[in-house]
Amino acid sequence: MANFVTIEAEARERAGKGAARATRRQGKVPGVIYGAKQAPTLIQLDPKVVWKELHTGGWRSRLFDLKVGADSTRALIRDVQLHPVTDQPEHIDFQRLAPGEKVRVAVSVVFHNETTSMGLKRGGMLNVVRHAVECFVDPDSVPPHFDADLGPLDINDNIRWSNLTGTDGIRPTIPDRDCLIATFGPPTKMAD
């Protein structure tokens, strides 16, 4: 069972640019919950809650339980618009999760055993191609991250989708090939 982060939100009555500006003047962040073949729900959130979630790693794949009055909605954050100068959140979009329907998420990759990796001990360079992998997964089984073991790898070895752990029952968005995650390059040497 997946873990859901609970967020308290308030309902908004009006949509549009003027209504969103009025919401921001009240010190709130306007937002919308859409998807699952239902009408969009207009919401407003406390900016401190939005900042907390944005500064916690992996927010694009974290599952949320939005409490709007007596209603509860399971959702993913799909987009956040930030002010171009102050970087304050100006609008947030949530995608409603439909039961039994797979969602597309980007799950981060965590590398382990750097200290025991022969490739790194011999001076090799770890070149990370993908810090996160986009995949289709059931909302109830979204992993917090995938694990990649660097321990047995040497120079010129690589890590692919098939080498990751925690991918059971999950399908990458590019299914026809074993996508590259990271490679070990040879040590570089400057010419004298």
pLDDT given for residue 59 in this prediction: 79
Give the pairing of strands 103-112 and 146-149: parallel
Q: Supply the pLDDT for residue 110.
A: 92
For the chain, the C-alpha Rg in angstroms (whole number) is 21
- Within 36-102, strands assigned E span 38-45, 63-68, 71-82, 89-96
CA 56 remoteness from chain centre: 10
Give the pLDDT confidence score for residue 185 in this predicted structure. Answer: 87
The predicted pLDDT at position 1 comes to 44
- Three-state DSSP state, 136: strand
pLDDT for the residue 145 = 86
Q: In terms of DSSP H, where are the helices of 116-189?
A: 118-121
In eight-state DSSP terms, residue 148 is E
Mean pLDDT, each 10-residue run in order, the chain (192 residues) = 79 87 91 90 92 83 87 90 90 88 88 88 88 87 87 90 87 86 82 54
Q: Which helix (H) or strand (E) holds 127?
A: strand 125-128
**pTM of full prediction above 0.75:** no
